Amino acid sequence: MIVSLVAGALWAMLPAYVPNNAAVLAGGGRPIDGGRTLGGRRLLGDGKTWRGTAVGTLVGVALAVALNALHPTVVAALGADLPTFPLRAAVGLALGAMLGDIGASFLKRRLGRQRGAAVPGLDQLDFVVGALALAALLAPAWTVATFSLPRLAVVVVATPLLHLTTNAGAYLLGLKAEPW
Ligand code: CTP
Ligand code: MG
Ligand code: K
């Protein structure tokens, strides 16, 4: 069932989707790199802060806990096959999403791109790679069982579309400096 497949893939990724948006709202304060540079360029830049990273991770984990509580109701309503989130999986997805985004900023600075510059592809999938990698590390059996190949295919296609629309929305609402 296509509905069940798409619902399962997006549900499984929700704890990885919200951290970046929460970080946009919570960001500010001390940058993680403390202003340090490498080869004359910022290590990460002012867009990666301790507060944004911590709040983003906590919001992602809290969402996973909320989804666990809602699970029976939503499964009954949709008739879809949806995963629940053990704590290790929740932390893997949420913290991994933040680390993937931070890793991308490190790469962008090495490529000489200023904070906020768009790097199509990297911007939309960095947090997916980070989330799946850390989930696989912290909760390997759960990750393999949850992210079947069809679900992974849905994630890779749907995530950039969701990312572009939510960021454009955040930009229009004045919450984000750039629409990507
Ligand atoms: N943010 C944060 N901490 C993070 C990630 C994001 O504080 N770990 C906040 C910052 O205020 C950042 C905003 O969310 O400016 C938007 O995030 P993002 O687009 O990822 O950062 P950019 O400012 O575009 O910087 P970069 O070019 O390094 O991606
Ligand atoms: Mg950006
Ligand atoms: K980013």
Q: Closest by alpha carbon to 121, among 180, 34, 60?
A: 180
Q: Is the CB of 94 under 6 A from ligand 1?
A: no
Q: Is the CB of 116 under 6 A from ligand 1?
A: yes
User: Cα–Cα distance between 50 and 35 in angstroms, integer?
Assistant: 13
pLDDT band at 97 (very low <50, low <70, confident <90, very high): very high
Q: What is the DSSP letter of 49?
A: B
List pLDDT tens digits, range 127-141: 999 999 999 999 999
Q: Is the CB of 42 under 6 A from ligand 1?
A: no
Distance 154 CA to ligand 3 centre (A): 21
Q: Closest by alpha carbon to 130, among 90, 157, 99?
A: 99
pLDDT band at 1 (very low <50, low <70, confident <90, very high): confident
Q: Is the CB of 108 under 6 A from ligand 1?
A: yes
List pLDDT tens digits, range 100-131: 999 999 999 999 999 999 999 999 999 999 99
Q: What is the DSSP letter of 178?
A: S
Flag whether the ipTM exceeds 0.90: yes
Closest Cα to atom 18 of ligand 1: 47
Q: Is the CB of 100 under 6 A from ligand 1?
A: no
CB within 5 A of ion ligand 3: which residues? 101
Distance 36 CA to ligand 3 centre (A): 19
Distance 58 CA to ligand 1 centre (A): 16
List pLDDT tens digits, range 19-59: 999 999 998 999 999 999 999 999 999 999 999 999 999 99
Distance 73 CA to ligand 1 centre (A): 35
Widest CA span in the chain: 56
